[in-house]
Homo-oligomer: A and B are copies of this chain.
Amino acid sequence: MGDIGVGVIGTGFMGKAHAMAYRAAAGIFPGNLKPVLQTVADVDEAAADAAARQYGFRRAVTDWRALVADPAIAIVAITTPNMFHREMALAAIAAGKHVHCEKPLAPSVAEAHEMMEAAEAANVVTQVGYNYIKNPLLSLAREMIASGELGEITSFRGIHAEDFMCDPEVPYSWRLDPQGGGGAIADIGSHIIGLARFLIGPITEVNADLATVVKSRPVGPGAAERRLIEVDDIARLTVRFARGCGGTIEANWAATGRKMQLGFEISGTKGGLVFTQERLNELSYYKAGEDPRENGFRRIEAGPQHPPYRNFCVAPGHQLGFNDLKTIEVADFLSAIEGGVRRGPDFREAWEIQKVVDSAIASSKSRAWKEVA
């Protein structure tokens, strides 16, 4: 097993998730590459130092450029707010690093495209943090669709709803900047768009209605001054897929009571599937044509028969958690770097997702159907 040096930029929610996933991957997945936690970077020196100590990095830096320039590092993981992704990724690519970037890839299609082209030109491997699709049960769902087991797909109804932006006193931040996070459609909508593409394939047209529920927010934590909000809290999309069927996609970060309702229902002529991340270890499956006296949606529980669940646990029903999905993401990335299948989602896929996001915003503004170019 060869060592491979990893540098992580950022020490927040995702910074920790990346660090722990790189730390766990080699133990869970017996691949050929063994990540070595080389360097963690954060503009806040204390945060960088604490992260290095806690997660086991050899070095902490405040300048991400030092991390990118380090020859001991072959993988650069970017977990900063997404307006920083482009600059960091391009520098890492230029330095010949493989790049693992959090989602959404960039605030705009143009930036995403530039990043994708740079990565492909440099022939580095890329990975974008759409971690939810790493769920073994979603791999099962994808296989059932791809193999024709569900018949012809006739409908996709997807949603990603949470309630973390319900409170009007949540202050303005980069997530609320049209050129930054880009609203619910970009922040969480990109997850369900990515999931739709993962399962059903390319989206060719979109008709969207974006709504801002909280019209203004404090300019900063506890501030009296308020700022008008330009991005959406709720995005409602009707879509057409390249395979011929239609569907709907909703993104809503003001969905009172919902913590992680990333879910879908898919109908096919031979079966149906229902899923929600709220119960990520379950997939409901209806198989058409069975004895009607005894048929119904089956609650499939994740188990070792659903790869790569077995890497985490040999017994069924023991359940994976969110951090395990991140570990699978890292393992897939390492495997691609080794020369294995590129399961993605890579920069190209993230660019495709971003195009749907941008098309939705444009559609909503023009109140008309919009082709995804």
Contact = CB atoms under 8 A, between A and B. Distances in A.
Contact of A286 (B256, B268, B368): B256
A331 to B, nearest CB: 13
A272 B258 CA distance: 9
Contacts of A213: 154
Contact of A298 (B271, B298, B313): B298
Interface string A298-323: 11110101100000111111111111
Contacts of A236: 238, 246-248
Contacts of A54: 1, 26-27, 30
Interface string A185-226: 000000000000000000000010101010000000000000
A148 interface: no
A56 interface: yes
A65 to B, nearest CB: 25
27 contacts: A20-B24, A23-B27, A27-B55, A155-B254, A162-B317, A166-B269, A209-B240, A236-B248, A238-B238, A256-B267, A256-B269, A256-B288, A257-B271, A258-B267, A259-B303, A260-B316, A260-B318, A278-B317, A282-B296, A292-B305, A293-B300, A293-B305, A295-B300, A296-B298, A297-B298, A318-B321, A368-B368
A159 interface: yes
Contacts of A294: 140, 144, 285, 287, 298, 300
A227 interface: no
Contacts of A271: 256-257
Contacts of A162: 317
A367 interface: yes
Contacts of A13: 313-315
Question: How many subunits of this chain does the assembly comprise?
Answer: 4
A248 B246 contact: no
Interface residues of A, number: 93
Interface in A234-292: 234, 236, 238, 240, 245-248, 250, 252, 254-260, 265, 267-272, 277-280, 282, 285-288, 292
A48 to B, nearest CB: 15
User: Considering residues A55, A314, A323, which has the most beta carbons from chain B within 10 angstroms of its beta carbon?
Assistant: A323
A156 to B, nearest CB: 10
Interface string A79-100: 0000000000000000000000
Given A23-B23, A154-B254, A323 B324 contact: yes
A330 to B, nearest CB: 13
A299 to B, nearest CB: 4
A261 B275 CA distance: 15
A306 to B, nearest CB: 7
Interface of A: 1, 13, 16-17, 19-20, 23-24, 26-28, 30, 50, 53-56, 140, 144, 154-155, 157, 159, 162, 164, 166, 207, 209, 211, 213, 233-234, 236, 238, 240, 245-248, 250, 252, 254-260, 265, 267-272, 277-280, 282, 285-288, 292-301, 303, 305-306, 312-324, 367-369
A301 B293 contact: no
Contacts of A286: 256-257
Contacts of A55: 27
A295 B256 CA distance: 12
Given A28-B20, A209-B246, A294-B298, A155 B234 contact: yes
